Amino acid sequence: MILPSPLRVRFAPSPTGYLHVGGARTALFNWLLARKHGGQFLLRIEDTDKARSTDDSTRAIFEGMTWLGLDWDEDVVYQGANLLRHQADAYRLLETGHAYRDFTSPAQLEAWRAEAEAAKLPFKVDRAKVILPRDVEAAKLAAGEPFAIRFKVPDGTTEWMDLVHGRIAFPNKDIEDFVILRSDGTPLYNHAVVSDDIAMGVTLVMRGDDHISNTPKQILIYEALGARLPVFGHLPMIHGTDGKKLSKRHGATAVADWQHQGILPSAMVNFLALLGWSPGGDLEVMLRDELIGRFDPDGLLKKAAVFDPKKLEWMNGQHLSRLPIAEVEPPVTRGIVAAGFASEAELAARRDWYHRLLDLLRVRARTVDDIVRQAEPYLRAEIAVPDDLWAGLAKDAEATRSALTAARGALVALPDAQWHDGAAMEAALRAAAEGIGLAAGKLFTPLRTVLTGSKVSPGITDVVAMLGRDRSLARVDAALARLPGAP
Q: Which residues are catalytic?
A: 248
Angle CA 176–181–185, to nearest 5: 160
**Smallest distance from RNA to CB 48, Å:** 4
Nearer to RNA, 30 or 79 (CB): 79
- Alpha-carbon distance of 238 to 29, in angstroms, equals 14
**Smallest distance from RNA to CB 487, Å:** 29
**Smallest distance from RNA to CB 41, Å:** 19
Nearer to RNA, 234 or 471 (CB): 234
**Smallest distance from RNA to CB 311, Å:** 4
Contact 172, 154 (CB under 8 A): yes
Burial of 388 (0-12, 13-18, 19+ CB in 10 A): exposed
Amino acid at 177: D
Task: Report residue 433 CA to chain centroid gap.
Answer: 50
Amino acid at 133: P
Contact 385, 454 (CB under 8 A): no
179-181 vs 148-151, strand pairing mode: antiparallel
Tell me the HSE value of 372 on the side-chain side, using a 13 A CA sphere. 22
Q: Is 297 helix (H, G, I), strand (E, B) or coil?
A: helix
- Alpha-carbon distance of 205 to 198, in angstroms, equals 11
DSSP string, 366-385: SSHHHHHHHHHHHHSS----
**Smallest distance from RNA to CB 429, Å:** 9
Q: Which helix (H) or strand (E) holds 179?
A: strand 179-181
**Smallest distance from RNA to CB 343, Å:** 27
Nearer to RNA, 182 or 288 (CB): 182
Contact 368, 375 (CB under 8 A): no
Nearer to RNA, 165 or 355 (CB): 165
Burial of 214 (0-12, 13-18, 19+ CB in 10 A): middle
**Smallest distance from RNA to CB 276, Å:** 5
Candidates 312, 271, 270; CA nearest to 288 is: 270
What is the DSSP-derived secondary structure letter of residue 209? Answer: G
Candidates 213, 203, 207, 212; CA nearest to 178 is: 213
Nearer to RNA, 29 or 39 (CB): 29
Nearer to RNA, 322 or 380 (CB): 322
- Alpha-carbon distance of 361 to 379, in angstroms, equals 13
Nearer to RNA, 174 or 477 (CB): 174
Task: Report residue 4 CA to chain centroid gap.
Answer: 28
